[in-house]
């Protein structure tokens, strides 16, 4: 079972009845797995993490056990409800499952969610494999309900996407729901909020005791010459690199279990802290007065691995790591970065934008790949929704070129609407493009408010991006088929010239999701091809070129027809091939 | 059951079916009674980029990730991907490479070159090499999509899992109507010399 499936299983066994979230690698499959337990569990993709968090908080206030799932950067969006929910407290247990991405496999930054636990003064659990992911979810739920506090369960890419064996148990029967009126508990206006602030600190003292006695934290005594404090996936690497060392393994890692740390630190000769990303544990252990080694030997950037920790071990022991040469046969291999899929409907839009000297502020999704050469048509990416708002800021600052903002459909609903509202309200002039492929593609094709389907597969209203645009005060709203290259070029040119803000929705379903070709496969006729290489500007992985004439790989071609429209020599056609 | 942890790396290009192959392998190891950990790539990297799946099994497995020079077998569905991850293979490990070239966009753009001497490089890089035409073998059996399972069959030659575990794992991992095909595909790879 994957770590994510195990987290979902844990939530199910803990009697959770409400699960919410917004897709984000590596967290996405938690909620997808939990949704399989419908109708016992109600699950939804919310428009964004803040909404998801608040929906779960509402359920919890009524007494239901709930979870909310997101990736690390999603917690920034949901930080607002988190920071005050710890004041007003929860009734039914609430666990926020947040997945970090050390190494930035699929993320724009490498922030360490453990900081949020301390920031919001909420307990933190860190599983190191799938069995723990399930067990800790249940423990977290107990702690949450016992102390009426939201809890963070922090996973990482390697915990979420690794599989290991998990023993299953029965589901705990859910309790009854019904909000018990108690304004001095649930309404943090200053007169009631100040005592909440006080209670928050008192609760932390109790939680520290709880962490010190928790089965999630344990000391493994082995050789006492070296003792290692570690948590999460780093524990697994430590066990292979230092099989002989004593280990304090923290699974319930905030509030810091000081009594355990003291007991461990005073029982060993030399102390090392091995943690992925920030040096949170190390700084704390040092603040308790122990001379701990950590960041000096263990890298704080990127993910850890057995190999990196072997180098740490060598450094710690004062010997050089034997540097073995990489195989000469593996030199100068052509890189294979991710690319827009063959037949991707976004491709033509980037190609068309390439014809204009404009600035493009982009956003997060498959279309981030439009930043790579040769499409090379994205100048910035900040965070979800910023594709729209930053375009507006750049335009207001007096950028001499026209500014185009690009977001995807799911991103538009996530946090694009407020940016568009700003443009409509504050008399902006940017051209905003929504690349609407009818799904949240990058994370594996989840539904969203525009798709007309819920997470559980039920039909629902498909909300219109165009109508949102008009409601935000944008008068020039266009819908265009991105596979029609001439019309796409024309739409973009027309809107760039207009002296008013506009919204162009390029709509075509993601062929990867539809699992079918867009049209008939194309072939290059070598007799007509002039070798001008214009078709290569599309960066379609199906068009292969090694110095003679381009050829289209029939296995990959999705038949979108863009290359045929680009080719000035008429060399690309369907030639009757299905 | 010896005390050793066995590590296997499967590599290829996003969309080639690496994940299914690793699932079958993990399941076979589980059926054979081992502790198993696997890791696979999701998200950004699945869009036509290089992908690897890592499987480790043994009496007790800690890390899901394979350390350098420790894999017993490296199976690759694409040639340059075999070389890209060659570093993970133990010096006496077995490499199983599908004789297929998928030209990366970086090459089509002219930013890089696909090594023309690929086959001789493979023979030099891997002292123990099975170089097979998995796609053609799968096509002959009726479906080119089963190339991943042909490859897995060849990979199985370097592992100590029993036939029954493999068969049961395949049956449990693929749809009923593809079962026969995949069992045959596996056998074709396993019996290759
Ligand atoms: S655009 Fe047409 S003529 Fe030019 S290289 Fe491509 S196929 Fe050949
Ligand atoms: S080869 Fe041409 S028709 Fe086929 S997917 Fe690529 S751009 Fe579309």
The answer to the question of residue A331 being in a domain is no
Q: Report the alpha-carbon angle A305-A310-A313, nearest 5.
A: 125
User: Which CATH number do you get for residue B115?
Assistant: 3.40.920.10
Both A440 and A473 in one domain: the answer is yes
**pLDDT tens string A193-232:** 999 999 999 999 999 999 999 999 999 999 999 999 999 9
Q: Which residue has the higher pLDDT, A326 or A95?
A: A95
Interface A-B: count of C-beta contacts within 8 A: 166
What's residue A576's pLDDT? 55
Q: A232 and A163, same structural domain?
A: no
Q: Is residue B134 part of a domain?
A: yes
Structurally, how many domains does chain A consist of? 4
Q: In chain B, what percentage of residues exceed pLDDT 90?
A: 82
Give a yes or no: residue A130 inside a domain: yes
Nearest to A136 by CA among A189, A211, A223, A26: A211
Percent of chain A with pLDDT over 70: 99
**Domain-embedded: residue A336:** no
pLDDT category of residue A128 using cuts at 50, 70 and 90: very high
Q: What is the pLDDT of residue B44?
A: 60
Angle at A317 between CA A313 and CA A321, to 5 degrees: 60
Q: B81 lies in a domain?
A: yes
Task: Say what the pLDDT of residue B43 is.
Answer: 63
Residue A303 shares a structural domain with residue A437: no
Contact B109 A373 (CB under 8 A): yes
Find the A342 Cα to ligand 2 centroid distance in Å.
6
3-state helix, strand, coil in chain A (%, to 5): 40, 20, 45
pLDDT of amino acid B49? 84
Residue nearest to atom 2 of ligand 2 (CA): A563
| Separation of first and last alpha carbons in chain B | 26
Give mean pLDDT, residues A490-517: 94
User: Does A473 lie in the same domain as A411?
Assistant: yes
Q: Whose CA is nearest to atom 6 of ligand 1?
A: A535
Kindly state whether residue A324 falls inside one of the protein's structural domains. Answer: no
Residue A453 structural domain: 346-514
At B99, list the tokens.
């004789």
Mean pLDDT of B154-159: 97
Does residue B64 surpass a pLDDT of 90?
A: yes
Query: What pLDDT is attached to residue A331?
Result: 84
Q: Is the pLDDT of residue A161 over 70?
A: yes
Both A445 and A404 in a single domain? Answer: yes
A452 phi-psi bin (left φ>0, alpha ψ -120 to 50, beta other): left
- The answer to whether residues A428 and A509 belong to one domain is yes
pLDDT category at B3 given cuts 50, 70, 90 is: low
Q: In the prediction, which pLDDT does A547 show?
A: 86
A119 and A240 in a single domain? The answer is no
**CA dihedral for A325, A328, A334, A337, sign (positive or negative):** negative
Q: Is A68 in the pocket of ligand 2 (CB under 6 A)?
A: no
pLDDT band, very low/low/confident/very high, at A20 (cuts 50, 70, 90): very high
Q: Is A236 found in the same domain as A205? A: no
Q: CA dist A157 to A220, A398, A441, Å? A: 26, 41, 19
The finding on whether A226 has its CB within 6 A of some atom of ligand 2 is no
Averaged pLDDT, A379-387: 96
A498 and A532 co-located in one domain = no
Query: Is the model's pLDDT at B114 over the cut of 50?
Result: yes
Question: How many whole angstroms separate alpha carbon A255 and alpha carbon B71?
Answer: 39
Residues 6+ apart with CB under 8 A from A461: A452
- Tell me, yes or no, whether A177 and A241 share the same domain: no
Which is nearest to A242 in space by CA: A214, A270, A282? A270
**pLDDT tens readout for residues A74-124:** 999 999 999 999 999 999 999 999 999 999 988 999 999 999 999 999 999
Dmax (CA) for chain B in angstroms is: 51
Name the phi and psi angles at A99, rounded to 5.
Answer: -110, 120
Q: What is d(CA A551, CA B146) in angstroms, rounded to the nearest whole number?
A: 25
**Mean pLDDT value of segment A439-455:** 94
Asked which of A472, A492, A514 is the last residue of a domain, the reply is A514
The interface predicted TM-score (ipTM) is 0.91
Residue A383 lies in a domain: yes
Nearest CA to ligand 1 atom 4: A532
Domain count of the fold of chain B: 1
- What's the pLDDT score for residue B4? 87
Ligand 1 centroid–CA A528 distance in Å is 8
Binding site membership of A151 for ligand 2 (Cβ less than 6 Å): no
Residue A458 contacts residue A450 (beta carbons within 8 Å): no
- Rounded Cα distance between A217 and A449, Å, is 41
User: What does the DSSP assignment read for A96-145?
Assistant: EEEEE-TT-SS-S----THHHHHHHT--EE--SSHHHHHHHHHHHHHHHH
Instruction: Write out chain A residues lying below 8 Å of B26, CB-based.
Output: 163
Chain B residues lying within 8 Å of A6, measured CB to CB: none
Q: Do A165 and B36 touch (CB under 8 A)?
A: yes
Instruction: Measure Cα distances from A208 to A252, A259, A286, A495 in Å.
Output: 10, 9, 18, 59
Query: Is residue B167 pLDDT above 50, yes or no?
Result: yes
For chain A, give the percent of residues with pLDDT over 90: 91
Mean pLDDT of chain A: 95
Given a cut of 70, is residue B45 above it in pLDDT? no
Pocket lining: A345 vs ligand 2, CB cutoff 6 Å = no
Candidate from A169-173, A369-373, A427-431 with smallest mean pLDDT: A369-373
Residue B1: inside a domain:
no
A67 plus A171 within the same structural domain: yes
Domain boundary among A175, A197, A213: A213
Residue A550 in any domain: the answer is: yes
User: Based on the domain organization, do A177 and A244 belong to the same domain?
Assistant: no
Tell me which residue range forms the domain holding B45: 6-190
B46 pLDDT more than 80: no
Name which of A15-19, A29-33, A367-371 the model is least confident about: A367-371
CA distance A434 to chain B (A): 20
Q: In what order do the strands lie in the sheet with A476-480?
A: A380-381, A359-362, A403-408, A431-436, A502-507, A476-480
Interface membership of A323 toward B (CB under 8 Å): no
Bridge partners of A292, per DSSP, are A271
In a domain? residue A77: yes
Selected for mutation to probe chain B from A131, A167, A314, A338 (highest B CB count within 10 Å) is A338
**How far is ligand 2, taken at its centre, from the CA of residue A406, in Å?**
23
Q: Phi, psi (5° rounding) for residue A223?
A: -55, 135
Residue A277 belongs to a domain with what CATH number?
3.40.50.920
Distance, in Å, from the CA atom of B69 to the CA atom of A322, rounded to the nearest integer, reads 13
Say whether pLDDT at A288 is over 90.
yes
Residue A577: per-residue pLDDT: 46
Q: What is the CATH number of the domain that holds A147?
A: 3.40.50.970
Query: What gap in Å lies between CA A83 and CA A119, rounded to an integer?
Result: 8
Q: Tens digits of per-residue pLDDT, A410-421?
A: 999 999 999 999
- How close, in Å, is residue A183 to chain B by CA atoms? 44
- A359, with CB counted inside 10 A (0-12, 13-18, 19+), is buried
Within a domain: residue A464? yes
């Amino acid at each position: 079972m994957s770590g994510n499936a195990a987290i979902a299983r844990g939530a199910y066994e803990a009697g959770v009845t409400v699960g919410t979230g917004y897709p984000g690698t590596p967290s996405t499959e938690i909620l997808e797995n939990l949704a399989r337990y419908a109708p016992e569990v109600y699950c939804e993709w919310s428009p964004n993490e803040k909404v998801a968090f608040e929906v779960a908080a509402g359920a919890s206030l009524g007494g239901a056990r709930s979870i909310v799932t997101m990736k690390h950067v999603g917690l920034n969006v949901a930080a607002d409800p988190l920071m005050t929910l710890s004041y007003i407290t929860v009734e039914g247990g609430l666990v926020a499952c947040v997945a970090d991405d050390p190494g930035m496999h699929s993320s724009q930054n490498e922030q360490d969610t453990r900081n949020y636990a301390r920031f919001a003064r909420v307990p933190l659990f860190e599983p190191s494999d799938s069995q723990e992911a399930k067990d800790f979810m249940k423990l977290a739920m107990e702690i949450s309900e016992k102390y009426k506090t939201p809890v963070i369960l922090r996973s990482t890419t390697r915990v979420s996407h690794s599989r290991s064996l998990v023993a299953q148990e029965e589901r705990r029967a859910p309790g009854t729901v019904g909000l018990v009126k108690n304004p001095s508990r649930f309404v943090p206006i200053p007169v009631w909020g100040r005592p909440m602030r006080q209670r928050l600190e008192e609760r932390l003292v109790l939680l520290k005791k709880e962490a010190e006695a928790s089965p999630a934290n344990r000391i493994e005594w082995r050789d006492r010459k070296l003792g290692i404090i570690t948590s999460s996936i780093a524990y697994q690497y430590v066990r292979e690199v230092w099989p002989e060392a004593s280990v304090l393994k923290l699974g319930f890692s905030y509030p810091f279990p000081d009594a355990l740390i003291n007991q461990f630190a005073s029982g060993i000769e030399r102390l090392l802290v091995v943690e992925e990303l920030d040096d949170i544990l190390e700084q704390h252990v040092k603040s308790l007065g122990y001379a701990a080694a950590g960041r000096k030997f263990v890298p704080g950037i990127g993910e850890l691995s057995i190999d990196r920790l072997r180098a740490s071990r060598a450094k710690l022991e004062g010997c050089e790591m034997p540097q073995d040469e990489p195989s000469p046969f593996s030199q100068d291999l052509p890189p294979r970065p991710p690319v827009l899929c063959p037949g991707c409907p976004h491709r033509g839009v980037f190609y068309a934008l390439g014809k204009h000297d404009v600035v493009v502020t982009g956003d997060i999704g498959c279309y981030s790949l439009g930043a790579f050469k040769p499409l090379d048509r994205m100048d910035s990416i900040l965070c979800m929704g910023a594709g729209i708002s930053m375009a507006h800021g750049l335009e207001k600052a007096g950028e001499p070129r026209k500014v185009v903002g690009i977001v995807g459909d799911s991103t538009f609903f996530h946090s694009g609407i407020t940016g568009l509202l700003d443009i409509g309200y504050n008399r902006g002039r940017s051209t905003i493009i929504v690349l609407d492929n009818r799904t949240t593609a990058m994370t594996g094709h989840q539904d969203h408010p525009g798709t007309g389907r819920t997470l559980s597969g039920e039909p629902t209203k498909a909300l219109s991006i165009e109508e949102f645009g008009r409601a935000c005060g944008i008068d020039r709203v266009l819908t265009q088929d991105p596979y029609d290259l001439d019309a796409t070029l024309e739409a973009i040119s027309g809107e760039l010239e207009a002296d008013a803000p506009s919204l162009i929705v390029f709509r075509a379903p993601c062929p990867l999701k539809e699992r079918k070709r867009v049209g008939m496969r194309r072939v290059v006729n070598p007799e007509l091809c002039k070798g001008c290489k214009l078709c290569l500007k599309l960066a379609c992985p199906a068009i292969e070129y090694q110095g003679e004439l381009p050829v289209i790989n029939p296995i990959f071609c999705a038949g979108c027809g863009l290359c045929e429209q680009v080719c000035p020599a008429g060399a690309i056609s369907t030639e009757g091939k299905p | 059951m010896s005390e050793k942890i066995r590590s296997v790396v499967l590599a290829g290009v996003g969309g080639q079916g690496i994940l299914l192959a690793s699932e079958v392998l993990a399941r076979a190891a589980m059926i054979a009674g081992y502790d198993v950990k696997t890791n696979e790539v999701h998200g950004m990297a699945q869009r036509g980029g290089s992908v690897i799946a890592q499987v480790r099994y043994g009496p007790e497995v800690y890390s899901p990730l394979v350390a350098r020079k420790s894999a017993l077998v490296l199976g690759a569905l694409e040639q340059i991907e075999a070389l890209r991850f060659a570093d993970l293979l133990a010096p006496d490990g077995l490499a199983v490479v599908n004789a297929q070239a998928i030209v990366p966009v970086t090459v089509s753009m002219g930013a890089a070159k696909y090594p023309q001497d690929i086959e001789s490089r493979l023979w030099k890089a891997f002292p123990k090499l099975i170089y097979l035409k998995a796609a053609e073998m799968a096509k002959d059996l009726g479906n080119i999509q089963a190339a991943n399972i042909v490859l897995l069959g060849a990979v199985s030659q370097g592992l100590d899992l029993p036939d029954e575990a493999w068969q049961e794992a395949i049956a449990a991992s693929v749809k009923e109507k593809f079962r026969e095909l995949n069992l045959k595909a596996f056998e074709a790879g396993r019996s290759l010399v």
